[in-house]
Every structure is written in C-alpha cells, then in structure tokens.
Amino acid sequence: MSSPVDNKENKGEEVISRNFIENIIDKDIEEGHCKKVVTRFPPEPNGYLHIGHAKSILLNYGLAKEYDGDFHLRFDDTNPMKEKSEYVESIMEDVKWICGDLDVEQVFYASDYFDQMYECAIKLIKKGKAYVCDLSADEIREYRGTLKEPGKNSPYRERTIEENLDLFERMRDGEFEDGSKVLRAKIDMSSPNINMRDPVIYRVARMEHHNTGDKWCIYPMYDFAHPIEDAIEGVTHSICTLEFEDHRPLYDWVVRELEFENPPKQIEFAKLYLTNVVTGKRYIKKLVEDGIVDGWDDPRLVTISALRRRGFTPESIRKFMELSGISKAQSSSDYAMLEYCIREDLKMKRPRMMAVLDPIKLVITNYPENEIEYLDVANNLENPDMGNRKVPFGKVLYIDREDFMIDPPRKYFRLFPGNEVRLMNAYFVKCTDYLTDEEGNVTEIHCTYDPETKSGTGFTGRKVKGTIHWVCAETAEKAEVRLYENIVDEEKGVYNEDGTINVNPDSLKVLKNCYIEPSLAEAQPMDSFQFVRHGYFCVDSKDSTKEHIVFNRIVSLKSSYRPK
Ligand code: ATP
Ligand code: MG
C-alpha cells in the first residue's frame, strides 16, 4: 500500500508529493479507464458538518479541481428517519464556504434515484441475484453466522424469480407490515466477509421522507443505494473512510451485477481525528441536545459552522488539511496545528489593534486636560501595504491589569511604582503613584509622561525595557469578549467510561467590561483582528450588535505547535 508521500514529482523548483489516491487516479487515466474525474461528497443530512467532513470535502473537491473534473455534493438522504431540512441547508452553506463556491448543478439528492434503485432491485431479482426473505431481523442475525463460523442459507433463498417479483412488488404496494419482509442480495452465506452473506438491500418502513413524502414504504439499504447513486452520477472515484473497506466487495458486486458501463471505484482513506476534541457527529449532537453548548455553531465546537463563527477562515482549514495529509493509516492530529494555521493565515491580513480586556485606569498627571491627540499607528507591522490609522490618545487611559504590579518579581519589565515603560505607539510614562480599594485591588495608576519620547520621532535619549498597550478612556468603546478553552476536560480525556463527555466547566469565559479602540466599533459580524498580546478575535455573528459588540477569541498568540 502506498504511503501519502511515497511518490514525488518535480514540477519546476517545487517538489510536489502525490498522495496514494492521486496515484490511483493517475494510473486509471493512463490506462484509459477514466476520461473525466468525477468525485462526490455524500453527507447524510442528520446533523451539521464538522472538521472531519471538511477533510472529505476538500479531498474530493480538490481532486476534481486538480484533474479538471466534476465535484458533486450529494445528500445521502435514503434513510428518512433522522433527516431534517435544517441540516440540508446548513450543509449546503458549509460546503459552499469551504470550497469557495458551489453551483446548484453540483447538488444532488440520493432520494431522486428511488425509482432507479427500485428498477435495479427488479433487475437483480430477474437475474436470480436477489430474493424476498421472511426471516425476522433476529433470525437473519442468527443465520448470518460469525467471524469464525459460516452462515446458513435462509429457507426463503430458493424462491422462484416469479414469486420474488410478485412479493417485492407487493412490498412496494404496502401489503406487508414493517419489518415482516426484506429483499436480500443472493451472494454467499459462507463468505469470509460477513457483508457478503446475503445482505439486506430493501426493507419495508412506513416513514415520511422529506423529499418523496409517502410515495415509498420500502427504502433501500446504504450498501445497495450508495454504489447505485455513484454509478448514476458517473462518479469515477468514490472516496470514503476506512470503515467501509470491508464493504468494498459488496460495492463492487452491486455495480458489477447491475452491469453499469463505467463502474465507479471505491477508495478508502483514514478519518481525521483531533486529539482530545469531540469530532463525532453523535457526540456533538449530544452536547447540543443537552444544552451544554449554545447550538451547533457554538464556537467551542469543531462543526464547520462553529469554526466559521469563531473566526476560522476556509484558507486556514485548507492549510490544516494539507499539513495533516491523506493516508490509509489511522492517526490523530493536534488542535494546536489548526491554531497554527489560522495564525499564519491572519498574520498578514488582519490589522493589529489595541484592546484592554481587564481594565485599570491610568492617569497621566502632567498631560493637558481635555486634550485628545491622534497618533499615527501602523495597521500591520509585517504588512506595510495595510497602511496606517489614527488612534486617539489622552490624559486618561485604560491598560490591562496584568501590565501593572505593586511589588513585581525580578525580570518584570512592565509598569510598577518608579518604573518607566513605553505606551505602545505613544510616549514613555513613569509610574508615580497608585490608588487601591478597601481590598487592596489597584483602582488607578498615576504616571507622568515625557513629551520628548513620542513614537516615531527618532527619540534616542534613553531606553525602556517594557512596552504596554492601552486605549484612550474618553474615546474607547466598550465590548464583550469571549475566551474559549476546549469543551473537554483534557486531563480526564474526552469520554467517560459510560460514553458521556468529560465537560470542562471553564470552557467559556465572558469578559463584559473590555475597552477597544473607537475604530473597532464599526466592525461587522465575522470581521477579525489581532488584539495586541491577546490574540486574534472575530466579531460574533450571532450575538454582536451595534450597541453591544461581542468578540470571540479565535486563538491566542502563543503557540505550542512547531511546523516541521
Ligand atoms: P460521523 O463520523 O461524525 O458520525 P458520518 O460518517 O456519519 O460522521 P456522513 O454524513 O455519513 O457522516 O459523512 C459524509 C462523508 O464524510 C463520508 O464520506 C464520510 O466518510 C466522511 N467523513 C465523516 N467523518 C470524517 C472524518 N472524521 N474524516 C474524514 N472524512 C469523514
Ligand atoms: Mg455515516
């Protein structure tokens, strides 16, 4: 089996690694089996998409693009039980966001093929390859055998073609109770692969379907429906995750027996897992249903809608998928790598602003009363193309509480009584005094400033070791800032023994009393910024309003991930 980087191709200067799926497609094209690559992403609309799905979307979309082929979003909506149109809409939005575009012509619904699937079943019956079976679900399980023992033939296996055709039609017409009869593929009850032991391909189930209503009371099973859906759409490479590897012989059997002209090929790859992060749809759903999070898009989740709300960009997710690679070997990626990707993406693109999250007042005693001056500040030190802005400065400022200490340890270079620091983009200030409340908390700091030391004037008189950020109290806007930690208590691991999730009670911290530069008041939902020293922040798309602006912390500036 090929590893993800076993095959390198020189394109100009750059060495491009081919993954094992590209190797398979290259060979199929070379040997003339494939003229135009068609891939698909086939979500079941039973929940919101998560970061694992993003991997599958980008893989399939990326291959279609690379080979100048087609990419389909196909809703795998053959199971009417759990599907909701809310999910269909959210999936559409997420795929569009991840890929950058999505045309209506690229969207397909498996339920549109129910007629063809029914015809396929008739074809198998006519070929003597399928039969109606009256065993109960429990009996079918018993007859199936085990990994060690072969199964036993059903007593209904030898029904005639005529009898099967008649019974199957009557199943469709609603003559039989739910669960009383099924249609089974006639393959091999002694196959070492249990999936090949006459699998059920149609069942009777009286359920409303979101697309077809009550037209059908029989529904096809996944292993039968999926290859047919692929074949109908002309999918050439049907890429799925490793748990379907043992189902591949059945996939191949279905497309072969139905004699599709250009049968699709199933290829499996390893799922994306994130260490200590809840990724399974089932578990995310549980957190939502139990009210532990604020909906599917709660910024602590790794659903695509949550990542978007938190402030991640499609580019950062794409970069993350590149770094995590495509492979056959199961592994787990670090959330820190995803954080690295968003920092890298925003670093050059977003302005660096000043925001104070835990404010204390700083008064410059020798600064003129009622004066506001506008200082020239670079928007992004690493990207001069982003230009400058004017930031107001005055006698009364806010600074972050952690930037002042009454009695500092050695090597503390920020503000303390008698010490001088630079106010970022402004002047040197020296602490002369401070006030406290009854409990000894600092409530106000007094400083003097040196007008000679204004930033950008080339002042070289003396040096200070610390620089701290600030906002001007008179012009500042108030904001709410939400800081996030993993929703899971990492010390204890993701799951308890009984399958429930170890919830971290401190995963959300809400700071209601933050001050931001006045220009940030104009920020729109989804806009993101760097806040000096605090990290990258994004205006919340759900709760932020003009009167009450809310920022989500996307990621802090500190990194525990080192790129190779
Ligand atoms: P979950 O594993 O969260 O329950 P699922 O597999 O039930 O999700 P589907 O809607 O059936 O979700 O998945 C749609 C596609 O996404 C499938 O092709 C599936 O293999 C792929 N997929 C699901 N989870 C991952 C993952 N973690 N990494 C990569 N691909 C995934
Ligand atoms: Mg599934």
Residue 3 corresponds to which tokens in the numbers above? 């590893």
* DSSP secondary structure string for all residues of 228-239: HHHHHTT-SEEE
Cβ–Cβ < 8 Å for 434, 403: no
Which residues contact ligand 1 via a Cβ below 6 A? 42-44, 52-53, 55-56, 240-241, 271-272, 279-282
Unique residue bearing structure tokens 């002309």:
234
Ligand 1 midpoint to CA 243 (Å)? 10
Contacts of 365 (CB under 8 A, 6+ apart): 432, 446, 447, 448
Ligand 2 midpoint to CA 237 (Å)? 18
Q: Please report, for residues 8, 338, 372, 489, 527, the alpha-carbon distance to residue 335 in angstroms, rounded to integers and kept in the order given.
A: 28, 5, 44, 14, 23
| Coil, strand or helix at 209 | strand
E strand or H helix at 170, and its extent? Answer: helix 161-172
Global pTM value = 0.93
d(CA 15, CA 5): 11
Nearest Cα neighbor of 22 from 3, 46, 48, 44 is: 3
Cβ–Cβ < 8 Å for 526, 311: yes
Atom of ligand 1 nearest to the CA of 282: 4
d(CA 251, CA 253): 5
**Backbone conformation region of residue 433, classed left if phi is above 0, alpha if psi is from -120 to 50, else beta:** beta
| Coil, strand or helix at 489 | coil
pLDDT confidence of residue 84: 79
Nearest Cα neighbor of 253 from 85, 386, 130, 95 is: 130
Identity of the amino acid at 66:
E
pLDDT confidence of residue 9: 52
pLDDT in tens, 535-558: 999 999 999 999 999 999 999 998
Ligand 1 midpoint to CA 5 (Å)? 24
pLDDT confidence of residue 16: 62
Cβ–Cβ < 8 Å for 236, 38: yes
Cβ–Cβ < 8 Å for 255, 264: yes
d(CA 422, CA 167): 86
Q: pLDDT exceeding 90 applies to what percent of the chain?
A: 90
d(CA 327, CA 423): 50
Ligand 2 midpoint to CA 272 (Å)? 14
Instruction: Per-residue pLDDT tens, the chain, 564 aa: give them.
Output: 344 444 555 545 555 678 999 999 999 999 999 999 999 999 999 999 999 999 999 999 999 999 999 999 999 999 887 667 889 999 999 999 999 999 999 999 999 999 999 999 999 999 999 999 999 999 999 999 999 999 999 999 999 999 999 999 999 999 999 999 999 999 999 999 999 999 999 999 999 998 899 999 999 999 999 999 999 999 999 999 999 999 999 999 999 999 999 999 999 999 999 999 999 899 999 999 999 999 999 999 999 999 999 999 999 999 999 999 999 999 899 999 999 999 999 999 999 999 999 999 999 999 999 999 999 999 999 999 999 999 999 999 999 999 999 999 999 999 999 999 999 999 999 999 999 999 999 999 999 999 999 998 988 889 999 999 999 999 999 999 999 999 998 888 888 888 888 999 999 999 999 999 999 999 999 999 999 999 999 999 999 999 999 999 999 998 878 877
